[in-house]
Structure 1
Amino acid sequence: MKNSIVIVDDHVLIANALSSIISNFNQFEVSYICENGLELQEKFKNSRIPDIVLLDISMPIMDGFETALWLKNDYPNVLVMALSMQDDEQSLIKMIKNGAKGYMLKNVHPRELESALNIIVEKGHFFPAWATSKVLTTLSDDGIEASSKIKISDREKEFLKYTVTEMSYKEIAEKMFCSPRTVENYRDSLFEKLELKTRVGLAVYAIKNGYEE
Protein backbone atom coordinates (compact mmCIF):
# COMPACT_ATOMS: atom_id res chain seq x y z
CA MET A 1 0.00 0.00 0.00
CA LYS A 2 1.35 3.42 -0.96
CA ASN A 3 1.99 6.19 1.55
CA SER A 4 -0.53 8.99 1.10
CA ILE A 5 0.63 12.59 0.70
CA VAL A 6 -1.20 15.91 0.85
CA ILE A 7 0.43 18.97 -0.71
CA VAL A 8 -0.24 22.36 0.89
CA ASP A 9 0.98 25.18 -1.36
CA ASP A 10 -0.71 28.35 -2.60
CA HIS A 11 1.18 28.20 -5.91
CA VAL A 12 -1.18 26.01 -7.92
CA LEU A 13 1.21 25.33 -10.79
CA ILE A 14 3.98 24.25 -8.42
CA ALA A 15 1.60 22.07 -6.42
CA ASN A 16 0.26 20.36 -9.53
CA ALA A 17 3.76 19.87 -10.93
CA LEU A 18 4.84 18.36 -7.61
CA SER A 19 1.82 16.05 -7.62
CA SER A 20 2.71 14.91 -11.12
CA ILE A 21 6.30 14.16 -10.07
CA ILE A 22 5.19 12.18 -7.01
CA SER A 23 2.79 10.13 -9.15
CA ASN A 24 5.89 8.49 -10.62
CA PHE A 25 7.21 7.40 -7.22
CA ASN A 26 6.63 3.73 -6.40
CA GLN A 27 5.76 4.12 -2.73
CA PHE A 28 3.79 7.38 -2.69
CA GLU A 29 0.57 8.90 -3.97
CA VAL A 30 -0.99 12.36 -3.62
CA SER A 31 -4.46 12.28 -2.08
CA TYR A 32 -5.29 15.95 -2.58
CA ILE A 33 -3.89 19.49 -2.74
CA CYS A 34 -4.70 22.47 -0.50
CA GLU A 35 -3.79 26.12 -0.99
CA ASN A 36 -3.25 26.96 2.71
CA GLY A 37 -3.53 25.60 6.22
CA LEU A 38 -7.14 26.64 6.67
CA GLU A 39 -8.20 24.67 3.61
CA LEU A 40 -6.26 21.70 4.99
CA GLN A 41 -8.19 21.93 8.26
CA GLU A 42 -11.47 21.84 6.34
CA LYS A 43 -10.31 18.89 4.24
CA PHE A 44 -9.29 16.90 7.30
CA LYS A 45 -12.91 16.99 8.54
CA ASN A 46 -14.21 14.85 5.68
CA SER A 47 -11.19 13.39 3.90
CA ARG A 48 -8.60 10.72 4.53
CA ILE A 49 -5.83 11.78 6.91
CA PRO A 50 -2.55 11.40 5.00
CA ASP A 51 0.71 9.85 6.14
CA ILE A 52 2.70 12.91 5.03
CA VAL A 53 1.94 16.60 4.54
CA LEU A 54 4.27 18.42 2.15
CA LEU A 55 4.00 21.94 3.49
CA ASP A 56 4.96 25.28 1.97
CA ILE A 57 5.92 27.97 4.49
CA SER A 58 4.89 31.25 2.87
CA MET A 59 1.14 31.10 2.31
CA PRO A 60 -1.78 33.50 2.83
CA ILE A 61 -4.52 33.03 5.47
CA MET A 62 -2.68 30.28 7.40
CA ASP A 63 1.04 29.85 6.72
CA GLY A 64 3.30 26.85 7.12
CA PHE A 65 4.41 27.70 10.65
CA GLU A 66 0.82 27.88 11.92
CA THR A 67 -0.19 24.79 9.98
CA ALA A 68 2.74 22.73 11.27
CA LEU A 69 1.90 23.68 14.85
CA TRP A 70 -1.76 22.75 14.35
CA LEU A 71 -0.75 19.38 12.93
CA LYS A 72 1.66 18.82 15.81
CA ASN A 73 -1.09 19.47 18.36
CA ASP A 74 -4.02 17.78 16.62
CA TYR A 75 -2.48 15.15 14.33
CA PRO A 76 0.92 14.26 15.80
CA ASN A 77 1.17 11.04 13.77
CA VAL A 78 1.16 12.93 10.47
CA LEU A 79 4.70 13.47 9.18
CA VAL A 80 5.23 17.10 8.18
CA MET A 81 7.83 17.81 5.51
CA ALA A 82 8.43 21.49 4.85
CA LEU A 83 9.09 22.20 1.19
CA SER A 84 10.15 25.81 0.81
CA MET A 85 12.28 28.38 -1.00
CA GLN A 86 13.54 29.62 2.38
CA ASP A 87 16.98 28.22 3.15
CA ASP A 88 17.73 30.22 6.31
CA GLU A 89 18.40 28.56 9.63
CA GLN A 90 15.68 30.49 11.48
CA SER A 91 12.91 29.12 9.24
CA LEU A 92 14.25 25.62 9.74
CA ILE A 93 14.47 26.06 13.50
CA LYS A 94 10.93 27.45 13.73
CA MET A 95 9.51 24.63 11.61
CA ILE A 96 11.25 22.03 13.77
CA LYS A 97 9.93 23.73 16.90
CA ASN A 98 6.44 23.64 15.41
CA GLY A 99 6.67 19.92 14.76
CA ALA A 100 8.08 19.49 11.25
CA LYS A 101 9.97 16.23 10.81
CA GLY A 102 11.59 17.20 7.54
CA TYR A 103 12.75 20.18 5.51
CA MET A 104 13.63 20.46 1.83
CA LEU A 105 14.12 23.24 -0.67
CA LYS A 106 11.86 23.52 -3.72
CA ASN A 107 14.79 23.36 -6.12
CA VAL A 108 15.47 19.77 -5.07
CA HIS A 109 15.83 17.11 -7.78
CA PRO A 110 12.91 14.63 -8.01
CA ARG A 111 15.23 11.73 -7.10
CA GLU A 112 16.30 13.58 -3.96
CA LEU A 113 12.67 14.24 -3.06
CA GLU A 114 11.79 10.57 -3.44
CA SER A 115 14.79 9.60 -1.33
CA ALA A 116 13.84 12.14 1.36
CA LEU A 117 10.26 10.84 1.47
CA ASN A 118 11.52 7.28 1.88
CA ILE A 119 13.83 8.38 4.70
CA ILE A 120 11.15 10.32 6.58
CA VAL A 121 8.85 7.29 6.44
CA GLU A 122 11.60 4.91 7.54
CA LYS A 123 13.33 7.02 10.19
CA GLY A 124 10.67 9.57 11.11
CA HIS A 125 12.75 12.60 10.14
CA PHE A 126 14.75 14.12 7.30
CA PHE A 127 16.76 17.34 7.35
CA PRO A 128 19.24 18.82 4.84
CA ALA A 129 22.98 18.40 5.04
CA TRP A 130 23.47 21.99 6.23
CA ALA A 131 21.69 21.05 9.44
CA THR A 132 24.61 18.61 9.99
CA SER A 133 24.33 14.87 10.43
CA LYS A 134 24.71 15.28 14.18
CA VAL A 135 21.33 17.03 14.30
CA LEU A 136 19.71 13.81 13.15
CA THR A 137 21.44 11.96 15.97
CA THR A 138 19.92 14.30 18.56
CA LEU A 139 16.48 13.44 17.19
CA SER A 140 16.87 9.76 18.02
CA ASP A 141 16.19 8.22 21.42
CA ASP A 142 19.79 7.02 21.63
CA GLY A 143 20.99 10.56 20.96
CA ILE A 144 18.79 12.01 23.68
CA GLU A 145 19.89 9.36 26.18
CA ALA A 146 23.56 9.99 25.42
CA SER A 147 23.20 13.77 25.50
CA SER A 148 21.47 13.62 28.89
CA LYS A 149 24.78 12.47 30.39
CA ILE A 150 26.59 15.59 29.19
CA LYS A 151 27.14 18.23 31.85
CA ILE A 152 25.70 21.57 30.79
CA SER A 153 25.85 24.61 33.06
CA ASP A 154 22.80 26.69 33.96
CA ARG A 155 24.08 29.58 31.84
CA GLU A 156 24.62 27.26 28.88
CA LYS A 157 21.06 25.99 29.32
CA GLU A 158 19.83 29.58 29.32
CA PHE A 159 21.80 30.21 26.13
CA LEU A 160 20.30 27.08 24.54
CA LYS A 161 16.84 28.44 25.25
CA TYR A 162 17.60 31.53 23.18
CA THR A 163 19.06 29.59 20.24
CA VAL A 164 15.52 28.56 19.34
CA THR A 165 14.45 32.20 18.97
CA GLU A 166 15.10 34.58 16.08
CA MET A 167 17.50 36.68 18.17
CA SER A 168 21.03 37.29 16.96
CA TYR A 169 23.97 36.33 19.17
CA LYS A 170 24.36 40.01 20.05
CA GLU A 171 20.72 40.21 21.13
CA ILE A 172 21.11 37.01 23.15
CA ALA A 173 24.07 38.59 24.93
CA GLU A 174 21.93 41.61 25.85
CA LYS A 175 19.18 39.32 27.12
CA MET A 176 21.67 37.38 29.24
CA PHE A 177 23.35 40.58 30.50
CA CYS A 178 26.77 39.55 29.28
CA SER A 179 29.15 40.38 26.46
CA PRO A 180 28.86 38.95 22.94
CA ARG A 181 32.21 37.29 23.52
CA THR A 182 30.80 35.42 26.53
CA VAL A 183 27.89 34.20 24.43
CA GLU A 184 30.34 33.00 21.80
CA ASN A 185 32.15 31.08 24.54
CA TYR A 186 28.87 29.38 25.54
CA ARG A 187 28.25 28.52 21.90
CA ASP A 188 31.74 27.14 21.30
CA SER A 189 31.63 25.15 24.52
CA LEU A 190 28.33 23.55 23.54
CA PHE A 191 29.59 22.87 20.02
CA GLU A 192 32.42 20.87 21.58
CA LYS A 193 30.34 19.11 24.24
CA LEU A 194 27.54 18.14 21.88
CA GLU A 195 29.73 17.60 18.79
CA LEU A 196 27.70 20.09 16.79
CA LYS A 197 28.74 22.71 14.24
CA THR A 198 25.71 24.95 13.67
CA ARG A 199 23.08 26.94 15.52
CA VAL A 200 20.47 24.69 13.95
CA GLY A 201 22.05 21.77 15.76
CA LEU A 202 21.95 23.64 19.08
CA ALA A 203 18.33 24.64 18.51
CA VAL A 204 17.25 21.09 17.73
CA TYR A 205 19.07 19.86 20.82
CA ALA A 206 17.35 22.54 22.92
CA ILE A 207 13.91 21.59 21.57
CA LYS A 208 14.36 17.85 22.03
CA ASN A 209 15.66 18.29 25.57
CA GLY A 210 13.08 20.82 26.71
CA TYR A 211 15.30 23.91 26.99
CA GLU A 212 13.27 26.15 24.69
CA GLU A 213 10.98 28.88 26.01
Structure 2
Amino acid sequence: MGGRNTYEYIRLNLPGAVPSITSVDGSITKAGGKIVEGEFRYDALSDLQISNNYQLAICSEDCTGVIQKVVYDASTSTVIEFSTPLDHGVPVPQFFQADSYDELKKCFENEEKSNLLNVHMLERLTISKSSSTSFFLGAYGITSKFNSIDVLRRWLWVFERSRISNIRILTFSTDCDPKYLRAMRLISGFFAKLPNIPISERNDVLEVKLPKNWSSWFFM
Protein backbone atom coordinates (compact mmCIF):
# COMPACT_ATOMS: atom_id res chain seq x y z
CA MET A 1 0.00 0.00 0.00
CA GLY A 2 2.94 2.33 0.61
CA GLY A 3 4.31 2.09 -2.91
CA ARG A 4 7.78 1.55 -4.33
CA ASN A 5 9.66 3.80 -1.88
CA THR A 6 8.13 2.07 1.15
CA TYR A 7 9.04 -1.34 -0.24
CA GLU A 8 12.64 -0.25 -0.84
CA TYR A 9 12.85 1.22 2.67
CA ILE A 10 11.73 -2.08 4.22
CA ARG A 11 14.08 -4.09 2.01
CA LEU A 12 17.11 -1.98 2.93
CA ASN A 13 16.35 -2.18 6.65
CA LEU A 14 15.65 -5.92 6.61
CA PRO A 15 18.53 -7.39 4.57
CA GLY A 16 17.60 -10.67 2.92
CA ALA A 17 13.98 -10.54 4.10
CA VAL A 18 12.38 -9.55 0.80
CA PRO A 19 13.69 -9.63 -2.79
CA SER A 20 14.63 -6.52 -4.73
CA ILE A 21 12.11 -4.85 -7.03
CA THR A 22 14.19 -5.95 -10.03
CA SER A 23 13.94 -9.58 -8.90
CA VAL A 24 10.19 -9.26 -8.33
CA ASP A 25 9.68 -7.74 -11.78
CA GLY A 26 11.75 -10.52 -13.33
CA SER A 27 9.72 -13.22 -11.59
CA ILE A 28 6.44 -11.65 -12.72
CA THR A 29 7.68 -11.44 -16.31
CA LYS A 30 8.80 -15.09 -16.33
CA ALA A 31 5.41 -16.14 -14.99
CA GLY A 32 3.67 -14.34 -17.86
CA GLY A 33 2.22 -11.69 -15.59
CA LYS A 34 3.62 -8.61 -17.31
CA ILE A 35 1.02 -5.88 -17.69
CA VAL A 36 0.94 -3.91 -20.94
CA GLU A 37 -0.95 -0.62 -21.01
CA GLY A 38 -4.19 -0.93 -22.98
CA GLU A 39 -3.88 -4.70 -23.39
CA PHE A 40 -6.62 -6.83 -21.85
CA ARG A 41 -5.54 -10.12 -20.28
CA TYR A 42 -8.00 -12.47 -21.98
CA ASP A 43 -5.47 -15.30 -22.25
CA ALA A 44 -4.94 -15.25 -18.49
CA LEU A 45 -8.70 -14.97 -18.02
CA SER A 46 -9.23 -18.10 -20.11
CA ASP A 47 -6.64 -20.00 -18.05
CA LEU A 48 -8.35 -18.85 -14.85
CA GLN A 49 -11.72 -20.03 -16.13
CA ILE A 50 -10.36 -23.47 -16.96
CA SER A 51 -8.58 -23.90 -13.63
CA ASN A 52 -11.52 -22.68 -11.51
CA ASN A 53 -14.39 -23.91 -13.69
CA TYR A 54 -16.68 -20.89 -13.39
CA GLN A 55 -18.78 -19.20 -16.07
CA LEU A 56 -20.40 -16.13 -14.50
CA ALA A 57 -18.73 -12.87 -13.55
CA ILE A 58 -19.24 -9.16 -12.88
CA CYS A 59 -17.03 -6.58 -14.57
CA SER A 60 -16.23 -3.18 -13.08
CA GLU A 61 -14.64 -0.10 -14.63
CA ASP A 62 -13.51 3.10 -12.99
CA CYS A 63 -11.16 6.04 -13.51
CA THR A 64 -8.87 7.57 -10.94
CA GLY A 65 -6.70 10.66 -11.12
CA VAL A 66 -2.95 10.16 -11.52
CA ILE A 67 0.15 12.33 -11.55
CA GLN A 68 1.19 12.96 -15.14
CA LYS A 69 4.43 11.10 -15.75
CA VAL A 70 5.78 9.66 -19.01
CA VAL A 71 7.69 6.37 -18.79
CA TYR A 72 9.63 4.48 -21.45
CA ASP A 73 9.07 0.71 -21.63
CA ALA A 74 12.26 -0.80 -23.03
CA SER A 75 10.73 -4.27 -23.49
CA THR A 76 8.15 -3.00 -26.01
CA SER A 77 9.93 0.20 -27.12
CA THR A 78 6.83 2.22 -26.30
CA VAL A 79 6.13 5.36 -24.31
CA ILE A 80 3.55 4.98 -21.55
CA GLU A 81 1.16 7.50 -19.99
CA PHE A 82 0.22 9.49 -23.03
CA SER A 83 -3.55 9.42 -23.50
CA THR A 84 -4.34 6.02 -25.03
CA PRO A 85 -6.32 6.32 -28.30
CA LEU A 86 -9.73 4.64 -28.38
CA ASP A 87 -10.92 2.68 -31.40
CA HIS A 88 -14.72 2.51 -31.05
CA GLY A 89 -14.21 2.83 -27.31
CA VAL A 90 -11.53 0.12 -27.15
CA PRO A 91 -7.98 1.18 -26.15
CA VAL A 92 -5.19 0.67 -28.68
CA PRO A 93 -2.20 -0.97 -26.91
CA GLN A 94 1.42 -0.02 -27.61
CA PHE A 95 0.34 2.90 -29.78
CA PHE A 96 3.17 5.32 -28.97
CA GLN A 97 6.27 3.71 -30.44
CA ALA A 98 9.59 5.38 -29.69
CA ASP A 99 12.16 3.68 -31.89
CA SER A 100 14.00 6.94 -32.47
CA TYR A 101 14.53 10.31 -30.84
CA ASP A 102 12.42 12.02 -33.51
CA GLU A 103 9.43 9.78 -32.74
CA LEU A 104 9.80 10.46 -29.03
CA LYS A 105 10.03 14.20 -29.65
CA LYS A 106 6.94 14.06 -31.85
CA CYS A 107 4.97 12.38 -29.04
CA PHE A 108 5.91 15.08 -26.53
CA GLU A 109 5.05 17.86 -28.97
CA ASN A 110 1.73 16.53 -30.29
CA GLU A 111 0.25 14.08 -27.79
CA GLU A 112 -1.64 14.81 -24.61
CA LYS A 113 -0.52 13.28 -21.34
CA SER A 114 -3.11 11.20 -19.53
CA ASN A 115 -4.39 12.49 -16.21
CA LEU A 116 -6.67 9.50 -15.54
CA LEU A 117 -6.04 5.78 -15.13
CA ASN A 118 -8.93 3.62 -16.32
CA VAL A 119 -8.97 0.19 -14.67
CA HIS A 120 -11.07 -2.89 -15.50
CA MET A 121 -11.59 -5.59 -12.87
CA LEU A 122 -13.56 -8.82 -13.00
CA GLU A 123 -15.18 -10.62 -10.07
CA ARG A 124 -16.12 -14.25 -10.66
CA LEU A 125 -19.35 -15.62 -9.25
CA THR A 126 -19.11 -19.05 -7.69
CA ILE A 127 -21.05 -21.26 -5.29
CA SER A 128 -17.81 -22.33 -3.64
CA LYS A 129 -17.48 -21.51 0.05
CA SER A 130 -13.99 -20.17 -0.52
CA SER A 131 -13.73 -16.43 -1.09
CA SER A 132 -13.58 -15.21 -4.67
CA THR A 133 -10.59 -13.09 -5.69
CA SER A 134 -10.84 -10.23 -8.15
CA PHE A 135 -9.13 -10.52 -11.53
CA PHE A 136 -7.25 -7.62 -13.08
CA LEU A 137 -8.39 -7.41 -16.71
CA GLY A 138 -6.62 -4.30 -17.99
CA ALA A 139 -5.71 -0.64 -17.48
CA TYR A 140 -4.64 2.36 -19.53
CA GLY A 141 -4.12 6.08 -19.22
CA ILE A 142 -6.71 8.43 -20.72
CA THR A 143 -8.15 11.91 -20.41
CA SER A 144 -11.79 12.90 -19.98
CA LYS A 145 -12.22 13.24 -23.76
CA PHE A 146 -14.51 10.25 -24.27
CA ASN A 147 -18.28 9.86 -24.26
CA SER A 148 -20.93 7.40 -23.15
CA ILE A 149 -21.04 5.71 -26.57
CA ASP A 150 -17.34 4.89 -26.18
CA VAL A 151 -18.13 3.34 -22.79
CA LEU A 152 -21.03 1.34 -24.21
CA ARG A 153 -19.02 0.02 -27.15
CA ARG A 154 -16.19 -0.95 -24.80
CA TRP A 155 -18.58 -2.87 -22.55
CA LEU A 156 -20.00 -4.74 -25.52
CA TRP A 157 -16.48 -5.59 -26.69
CA VAL A 158 -15.48 -6.83 -23.22
CA PHE A 159 -18.68 -8.88 -23.05
CA GLU A 160 -18.09 -10.53 -26.42
CA ARG A 161 -14.39 -11.21 -25.82
CA SER A 162 -15.16 -12.71 -22.42
CA ARG A 163 -17.67 -15.07 -24.03
CA ILE A 164 -14.80 -16.45 -26.12
CA SER A 165 -13.16 -17.39 -22.80
CA ASN A 166 -16.44 -19.13 -21.78
CA ILE A 167 -17.27 -16.42 -19.26
CA ARG A 168 -20.65 -14.71 -19.22
CA ILE A 169 -20.53 -11.20 -17.76
CA LEU A 170 -23.85 -10.55 -16.07
CA THR A 171 -23.43 -6.86 -15.36
CA PHE A 172 -21.04 -3.92 -15.42
CA SER A 173 -20.50 -1.72 -12.39
CA THR A 174 -18.92 1.71 -12.08
CA ASP A 175 -19.31 4.99 -10.22
CA CYS A 176 -21.73 7.89 -10.75
CA ASP A 177 -19.81 9.66 -13.50
CA PRO A 178 -22.41 11.14 -15.92
CA LYS A 179 -20.83 9.37 -18.92
CA TYR A 180 -21.08 5.96 -17.26
CA LEU A 181 -24.60 6.64 -15.99
CA ARG A 182 -25.77 7.58 -19.47
CA ALA A 183 -24.21 4.39 -20.85
CA MET A 184 -26.18 2.43 -18.24
CA ARG A 185 -29.39 4.21 -19.22
CA LEU A 186 -28.79 3.47 -22.89
CA ILE A 187 -28.02 -0.19 -22.37
CA SER A 188 -31.02 -0.71 -20.06
CA GLY A 189 -33.45 1.43 -22.06
CA PHE A 190 -34.20 3.58 -19.03
CA PHE A 191 -35.63 6.75 -20.63
CA ALA A 192 -33.04 6.45 -23.40
CA LYS A 193 -32.77 4.57 -26.68
CA LEU A 194 -30.07 3.27 -28.99
CA PRO A 195 -31.58 3.23 -32.49
CA ASN A 196 -28.36 2.07 -34.18
CA ILE A 197 -27.36 -0.57 -31.60
CA PRO A 198 -30.39 -2.85 -30.95
CA ILE A 199 -29.05 -4.46 -27.77
CA SER A 200 -32.43 -5.81 -26.69
CA GLU A 201 -32.68 -7.84 -29.91
CA ARG A 202 -29.49 -9.82 -29.29
CA ASN A 203 -29.86 -13.57 -28.87
CA ASP A 204 -27.66 -13.58 -25.76
CA VAL A 205 -29.58 -10.93 -23.81
CA LEU A 206 -29.98 -11.83 -20.13
CA GLU A 207 -33.63 -12.41 -19.24
CA VAL A 208 -34.90 -12.05 -15.69
CA LYS A 209 -38.08 -13.97 -14.90
CA LEU A 210 -40.18 -12.02 -12.42
CA PRO A 211 -42.77 -13.61 -10.12
CA LYS A 212 -46.28 -13.48 -11.55
CA ASN A 213 -47.59 -11.65 -8.49
CA TRP A 214 -45.34 -8.68 -9.24
CA SER A 215 -47.53 -6.16 -11.01
CA SER A 216 -44.71 -3.86 -12.13
CA TRP A 217 -40.95 -3.50 -12.28
CA PHE A 218 -39.07 -0.60 -10.74
CA PHE A 219 -35.58 0.63 -11.55
CA MET A 220 -33.61 1.09 -8.34
- On whether the aligned pair clears a TM of 0.5, the verdict is no
Q: Which has the higher contact order (CA 8 A, sep 6+)?
A: 2
Say which structure is richer in strand.
2
**Considering only CA atoms, is the larger Rg found in Structure 1 or Structure 2?**
2
TM-score, normalised via structure 2 length: 0.24
